[in-house]
């Protein structure tokens, strides 16, 4: 079968590697792909949000299965368009992807169905949002309702910061129409855990747990990024927590979406925070996390295409999904300056050397291939990933591999997986 992967970052590279291991796949296309994905798939120059272009390509090439990985095409309805054209596709439809596409929707869903989440209110104009701040304590969390490239959440440390955040989202429209509403939310303290799950709307199967690191510098300092690293399993998420989450969060979310007529079929991502008072949902995503996928997928032993097919055909309940019981860690190497301004086009060396260790895979995020060489082309450049029998072993192997890779102005965190 021919498979098309939509997207072009580290997550899509991790997916491509896993899909290439499937016994059902002869050929992989990836649109738009990147310099690393090009080594195992044919990259096609179609933007991930170009729904018509993607459908036309899948039809022309006789694609047997398309996997839509990023949030924006899912929220825009790419899956619906594929279905309408009689094409087989993995991912939630537009109706269900709203669980990530609108934070107001997801908060209201959790409130309606008693799923634990921080207290909040939704506002449609800056004046009422600012009035709500009166008498509230800081920090307080201000969130743009829609998709904002992972930058739509501001943790305001003071009243003035909160007002500035509301004004920049709602008046200055820094996130465009994603900011026509804001959610203002109680600040929660605790350790975060990401649990991704396969679900076909009838059955939900959680994957092994993970944690990502969003801040750019060691010790969780500096601005947020798309993710500077991830590891799996989480150091704190145990069987008791998993049982609690299954009963109070995961299955209730699946059932809630069914009750709303928005049955979710795909990857449901639960961003959880473990506080002193219990576990709460911070956010839902309608897809694999990036860079969580880079730490979780290397641990999947089962054929991923068989899982995707079972989700599409609503027979996930009949499947046995097998995981490696070790660990994996992914260290992101980024361009100097990221997440602010950075330069690209620097040659990268040492990737082959790093991959001499068969526990190491270097997932490409922002790279381009030219004349057989690999160059930086984005903010997050590589996700240097290793597996191991323990988390400490995986981390050590990943950091050894990082030492072998060089490009000008590279920077990375040295404390991934530490806490």
- Told to check if 187 binds ligand AMP by CB under 6 A, we report yes
Residues 227-256 that bind ligand AMP (CB under 6 A): none
Cβ atoms < 10 Å from Cβ of 359: 19
Q: How far apart are alpha carbons 311 and 268 in whole angstroms?
A: 12
Q: How far apart are alpha carbons 12 and 67 in whole angstroms?
A: 10
* Minimum distance of ligand AMP from residue 185's CB (angstroms): 5
Cβ atoms < 10 Å from Cβ of 17: 22
Task: Please choose, out of 81-89, 182-190, 366-374, 381-389, the segment that lies near ligand AMP by the rule CB under 6 A.
Answer: 182-190
The mark string for 290-329 relative to ligand GLY (x by CB under 6 A, - otherwise) is x-x-------------------------------------
- Told to check if 401 binds ligand AMP by CB under 6 A, we report no
What contacts 147, CB < 8 A, 6 or more positions away?
71, 72, 75, 100, 101, 178
Task: Please choose, out of 32-40, 126-134, 148-156, 171-179, the segment that lies near ligand AMP by the rule CB under 6 A.
Answer: 148-156
* Minimum distance of ligand AMP from residue 337's CB (angstroms): 21
- Told to check if 118 binds ligand AMP by CB under 6 A, we report yes
Closer residue to ligand GLY in complex, CB, 201/383: 383
* Minimum distance of ligand AMP from residue 405's CB (angstroms): 27
Q: How far apart are alpha carbons 80 and 266 in whole angstroms?
A: 13
| Residue 290 contact partner, candidates ligand AMP, ligand GLY, none, CB within 5 to 8 A by sort of partner | ligand GLY
Q: Where are the alpha helices (DSSP H) in 279-329?
A: 292-296, 304-312
| Residue 185 contact partner, candidates ligand GLY, ligand AMP, none, CB within 5 to 8 A by sort of partner | ligand AMP
- Location of structure tokens 């979406």: 257
Among positions 54, 183, 188, 297, the unique one binding ligand AMP when judged by CB under 6 A: 188
Residues 225-284 that bind ligand GLY (CB under 6 A): 227
Q: Work out the burial of residue 186: count CB atoms within 10 Å of its CB; fewer than 13 is exposed, 13-18 middle, 19 or more buried.
A: middle
Task: Give the closest residue to 380 by CA, choosing from 326, 340, 333, 331.
Answer: 333
- Told to check if 69 binds ligand AMP by CB under 6 A, we report no
Paired sense of beta strands 140-144 and 27-32, if any: unpaired
- Told to check if 217 binds ligand AMP by CB under 6 A, we report no
């Amino acid at each position: 079968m021919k498979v098309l992967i939509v997207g072009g970052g580290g997550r899509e590279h991790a997916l491509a590697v896993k899909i290439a291991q499937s016994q059902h796949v002869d050929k992989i296309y990836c649109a738009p792909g990147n310099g690393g994905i090009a080594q195992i798939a044919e990259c096609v120059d179609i933007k991930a949000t170009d729904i018509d272009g993607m459908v036309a390509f899948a039809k022309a090439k006789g694609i047997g299965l398309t996997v839509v990985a990023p949030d924006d095409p899912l929220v825009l309805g790419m899956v619906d368009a594929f279905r309408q054209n009689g094409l087989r596709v993995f991912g939630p439809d537009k109706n269900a992807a709203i669980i990530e596409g609108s934070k107001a929707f997801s908060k209201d869903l959790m409130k309606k169905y008693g799923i634990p989440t921080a207290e909040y209110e939704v506002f449609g104009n800056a004046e009422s949002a600012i009035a709500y701040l009166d008498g509230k304590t800081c920090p307080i969390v201000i969130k743009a309702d829609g998709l904002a490239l992972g930058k739509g959440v501001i943790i305001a440390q003071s009243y003035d910061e909160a007002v500035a955040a509301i004004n920049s989202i709602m008046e200055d429209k820094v996130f465009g129409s994603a900011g026509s509403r804001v959610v203002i939310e109680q600040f929660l303290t605790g350790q975060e855990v990401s649990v991704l799950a396969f679900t076909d709307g009838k059955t939900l199967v959680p994957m092994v747990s993970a944690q990502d690191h969003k801040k750019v510098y060691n010790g969780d300092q500096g601005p947020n990024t798309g993710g500077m690293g991830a590891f799996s399993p989480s150091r704190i998420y145990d069987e008791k927590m998993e049982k609690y989450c299954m009963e109070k969060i995961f299955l209730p979310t699946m059932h809630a979406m069914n009750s709303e007529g928005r049955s979710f079929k795909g990857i449901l991502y639960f961003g959880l925070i473990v506080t002193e008072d219990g576990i709460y949902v911070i956010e839902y995503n309608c897809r694999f996390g990036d860079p969580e996928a880079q730490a979780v997928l290397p641990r999947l032993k089962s054929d991923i295409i068989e899982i995707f097919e079972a989700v599409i055909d609503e027979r996930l309940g009949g499947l046995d999904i097998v995981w490696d019981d070790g660990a994996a860690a992914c260290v992101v190497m980024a361009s100097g300056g990221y997440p602010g301004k950075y330069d690209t086009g620097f040659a990268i060396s040492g990737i082959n050397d790093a991959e001499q260790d068969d526990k190491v895979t270097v997932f490409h995020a922002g790279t381009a291939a030219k004349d057989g060489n690999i160059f930086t082309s984005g903010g997050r450049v590589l996700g240097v990933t290793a597996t191991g029998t323990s988390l400490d072993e995986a981390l050590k192997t990943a950091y050894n591999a990082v030492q072998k890779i060089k490009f000008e102005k590279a920077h990375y965190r040295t404390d991934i997986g530490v806490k």
